[in-house]
Amino acid sequence: GGRPGHVYVLTEQGANLFPKKYSWFSQVLLQSLQAQMGEEKFEAYMYDLGVQTSAVGIPRLVGKNRTERVAEIVRIMNEAGFAAQTIAAEGNDKIPRIECKNCVYHDLSKDYPAVCRFDIGFLSGLMGADVEHQECMQRGGQACRFRFKPPA
């Protein structure tokens, strides 16, 4: 007897509508790491973390040539919100470069430029090549532009 019961459940999508403090928490972590390590070790740590993180994308690149890898890397970056695209190779380079119109770490990289080393490590790990950060929005550029250096 009595009134029918109603059960309400908040879905994950609904929970994500509430404000989060991910950026603040990230700043706390980065500040602590930088203070403990010093700038040079912190930059190396961010690069190594990027390389380690790239392991999740490696299976998507197996069997692809270098140009196909760049195209797949752009897809991976776009899944993370970078607004990335390939742009023409320059000079003697044979593979395209990557240009991003959105820095997903923009606020963090203002105070912690070493965050850019994460991206360089991530791209380097995916491509298996050194990366030149040719242009950076945080340093006044119109985009973040990355060039894969040819194998030695």
Each residue's pLDDT tens digit, 21-35? 888 899 999 999 999
Angle of CA points 64, 66, 70, to nearest 5° = 95
Reported as a single tens digit per residue, the pLDDT across 3-53 is 777 778 888 888 888 888 888 899 999 999 999 999 999 999 999 999 999
Contact 135, 101 (CB under 8 A): no
Per the CB < 8 A criterion, the answer to whether 115 and 30 are in contact is yes
Q: How far is CA 139 from the centre of its chain?
A: 17
